[in-house]
Structure 1
Amino acid sequence: MTKDLNTLLTALYVLVDDHVVPPRAGRGHRPDLTDSELICLAVAQMMLGYHNERRWVRHVHAISDLLDMFPDMLGQSGYHRRLKAAQPLLCKTILTLAACCPSWFDDLWITDATPVPCGMSRETVKRSDLAGHASYGYCASHSRWYWGLKLYLVCAGDGMPIMWCLANPKIGEREVLAALLDNNHHLNREGQILLVDKGFSGKPFKKLTESKQLRLLRPDRKDETYRNGNLGGVRQWIESVNQTLKGQLDLERHGGRTPHGVFTRVAQRLLAMAAAIWHNWTTDVTSKRSLTAYDH
């Protein structure tokens, strides 16, 4: 484990323990591994590239630095159970980290959807617990079909997640994004610019975003008069964010086999990226989304 990762986990523990995890009240046995430590372990697991929980638990028990920081590390089944139960805390931590960064006050948000494959064979599709949640979708950037879910992400210019959700790829993108904005209406700010893809065209969707005090910005379609151009340089930001999730944080190798499992593993990856961006802001690193210093 690198010195930078050690520093990040220490700072993250203090933030989570002070502002995310509620104080323990009532009777009962206090868990040996606290929720604050659990969230830090979830981040460290993604930073070090362990998408398999069994291998990650063995690694923690074998490395003295990690075991010194987390002496009450659980077994694989206990860690898995606690992590799934901590889904609300993972989401709350992401939002807390976002609010601590200067990019929280940016006037521009960027949104896009990216595939989250969940199976490769027909037998998996028929027997998976994700049946009814996942479905077949088409990935235009790779010109291929996949079976799984779709991650919708609204982020700041530096890649800091603001809102996100998982949806069936057969559901229309405008419908999903409209529901995401509606469920997180308390985060909308008057005059906020939302940069979207050209697929989010149409008067009904534009009227919806205006009702939520958002200004819609999208590339021009070929059948439209010139207004904004193709916005290729700015749209590349969200493509770069998706590439960080896929290439460095192994989004497509999440290993989830149930709805709760997939949600937890995607939340872990978004949390790891948010923690890196937050810490890079704190330490004044030039590249805010860089994970190199954390030995990934």
Structure 2
Amino acid sequence: MKTNLDALLAALYVFIVDHVAPCRRIGRPPKLTDAELLCLAVAQVLLGFPSARHWIRFAHARLPHLFRYLPQQSAYNKRLNAAGPLISLVLEALARQVPTWHDNLRLIDSTPVPCAASRETVKRSELNGHAGYGFCRSHSRFFWGFRLYLVTTAEGMPVRWCLANPKLGEREVMTALLERDHHLVRAGQVVLADKGFAGKEFETFLTERLGAHLVRPDRKDEPDRHGRLARSRQWIEAVFDTLKGQLSLEQHGGRTPAGVFARTGQRLLALAAAIWHNWTTNAPVKRSLIAYDH
């Protein structure tokens, strides 16, 4: 099997059609199916087009051989903004196909997803009341938007995710996420986190409720347990770096809660599709996007 964007999109289209039930619609079938829409969305972020206007213009000029119908910008935005639930279904289906789904290690962390840069934009935004102000300790900056909470396998395959107001505590949000989808964490698994998840209640929840083991870097004010874990903690940091550096997470362009959710999921789906295809083609580096970004 070839390792390039055309091969990835063809394989992803077949996978979605075979493994994810299509949404039932009333009336005439759409010219662009749900599977084609998600393939088009994945291609957008892999090729580095944060702007939907630029992307649709490029797709009409360069990608007609891959899609039997290409919508205009307004129709594409409308369909993509409504595709969040479908993206989540495809993400979990892809995650179940990779060998590391059965491993005894899960990585968890959170990262900012900024949505506005000025006070005037914040006041006018439809996200007002959903997003909020937060502080990113890693980059020593304030932001207005959401925090992305992510659970992944060792190589970065997204397993479960959510967006939350940054004013909410990290442990509380992750507890709610894992409690809702507790079947995704099996008894005996090791959950690798950072110091932000230090807390007796959270560790008790993982140990007694889920049967998992929390491993995190030691804080300065507690006895030695696991050490600094600097090398292992870089795994999840590298996943966030890929999402922001190569997949333009911070330039998502969402203006409504549904839009931000879908466009964040769009980036995660592109990453998941690349990892899944790299496993399928036996690529040496499973999170590499080099074969698909041109």
Equivalence for 1:273: 271
Paired AA for residue 18 in structure 1: D
1:82 is displaced (CA, Å) by 1.3
Is this contact kept in 1: 2:42–2:266, CA < 8 A?
yes
Is this contact kept in 2: 1:21–1:36, CA < 8 A?
no
Q: Secondary structure at the match of 2:64?
A: helix
1:295 is displaced (CA, Å) by 2.1
Equivalence for 1:90: 87
Once residues 150 and 28 of structure 1 are traced to their aligned partners in structure 2, the CA distance between those partners, rounded to angstroms, is 38
Once residues 31 and 152 of structure 2 are traced to their aligned partners in structure 1, the CA distance between those partners, rounded to angstroms, is 35
Equivalence for 1:158: 155
Once residues 199 and 77 of structure 1 are traced to their aligned partners in structure 2, the CA distance between those partners, rounded to angstroms, is 40
Is this contact kept in 2: 1:21–1:35, CA < 8 A?
no
Is this contact kept in 1: 2:82–2:262, CA < 8 A?
no
Equivalence for 2:188: 191
Q: Secondary structure at the match of 1:67?
A: coil
Once residues 23 and 195 of structure 1 are traced to their aligned partners in structure 2, the CA distance between those partners, rounded to angstroms, is 36
Equivalence for 1:15: 15
Name the CA shift for 1:257/1:91 in 2 (closer, same or farther; >3 Å).
same
Alignment of 1:130-169 (within 5 A): 130-169=127-166
Is this contact kept in 1: 2:188–2:211, CA < 8 A?
yes
Equivalence for 2:31: 32
Name the CA shift for 1:177/1:23 in 2 (closer, same or farther; >3 Å).
closer
Is this contact kept in 1: 2:48–2:293, CA < 8 A?
no
Paired AA for residue 203 in structure 1: K
Give the count of matched residue pairs.
Answer: 292
Paired AA for residue 67 in structure 1: P
1:78 is displaced (CA, Å) by 1.1
Name the CA shift for 1:173/1:74 in 2 (closer, same or farther; >3 Å).
same
1:181 is displaced (CA, Å) by 0.3
Moved more, 51-60 or 2-11: 2-11
Is this contact kept in 2: 1:137–1:170, CA < 8 A?
yes
Deviation >6 Å, runs of 4+: none
Paired AA for residue 290 in structure 1: S
Equivalence for 1:263: 261
Paired AA for residue 176 in structure 2: A
Is this contact kept in 2: 1:116–1:251, CA < 8 A?
yes
Once residues 40 and 243 of structure 1 are traced to their aligned partners in structure 2, the CA distance between those partners, rounded to angstroms, is 23
Is structure 2 residue 113 aligned with structure 1 residue 113? Answer: no
Is this contact kept in 2: 1:21–1:89, CA < 8 A?
no
Once residues 229 and 268 of structure 2 are traced to their aligned partners in structure 1, the CA distance between those partners, rounded to angstroms, is 25
1:27 is displaced (CA, Å) by 6.6
Deviations along 1:30-69, whole A, 9 cap, x unmatched?
A: 2111111111111111111111111111111111xx2122
Is structure 2 residue 56 aligned with structure 1 residue 51? Answer: no
Is structure 2 residue 70 aligned with structure 1 residue 70? Answer: no
Once residues 8 and 27 of structure 1 are traced to their aligned partners in structure 2, the CA distance between those partners, rounded to angstroms, is 31
Once residues 197 and 3 of structure 1 are traced to their aligned partners in structure 2, the CA distance between those partners, rounded to angstroms, is 34
Once residues 227 and 36 of structure 1 are traced to their aligned partners in structure 2, the CA distance between those partners, rounded to angstroms, is 47
Once residues 288 and 166 of structure 1 are traced to their aligned partners in structure 2, the CA distance between those partners, rounded to angstroms, is 25
Once residues 287 and 40 of structure 1 are traced to their aligned partners in structure 2, the CA distance between those partners, rounded to angstroms, is 22
Once residues 221 and 27 of structure 2 are traced to their aligned partners in structure 1, the CA distance between those partners, rounded to angstroms, is 65
1:158 is displaced (CA, Å) by 0.3
Q: Secondary structure at the match of 1:68?
A: coil
Structure 1: 5+ residue stretches without partners: none
Q: Secondary structure at the match of 2:121?
A: helix
Paired AA for residue 109 in structure 1: R
Equivalence for 2:245: 247
Q: Secondary structure at the match of 1:22?
A: coil
Is this contact kept in 2: 1:46–1:272, CA < 8 A?
yes
Once residues 30 and 249 of structure 1 are traced to their aligned partners in structure 2, the CA distance between those partners, rounded to angstroms, is 31
Name the CA shift for 1:166/1:23 in 2 (closer, same or farther; >3 Å).
closer
Structure 2: 5+ residue stretches without partners: none
Once residues 271 and 172 of structure 1 are traced to their aligned partners in structure 2, the CA distance between those partners, rounded to angstroms, is 26
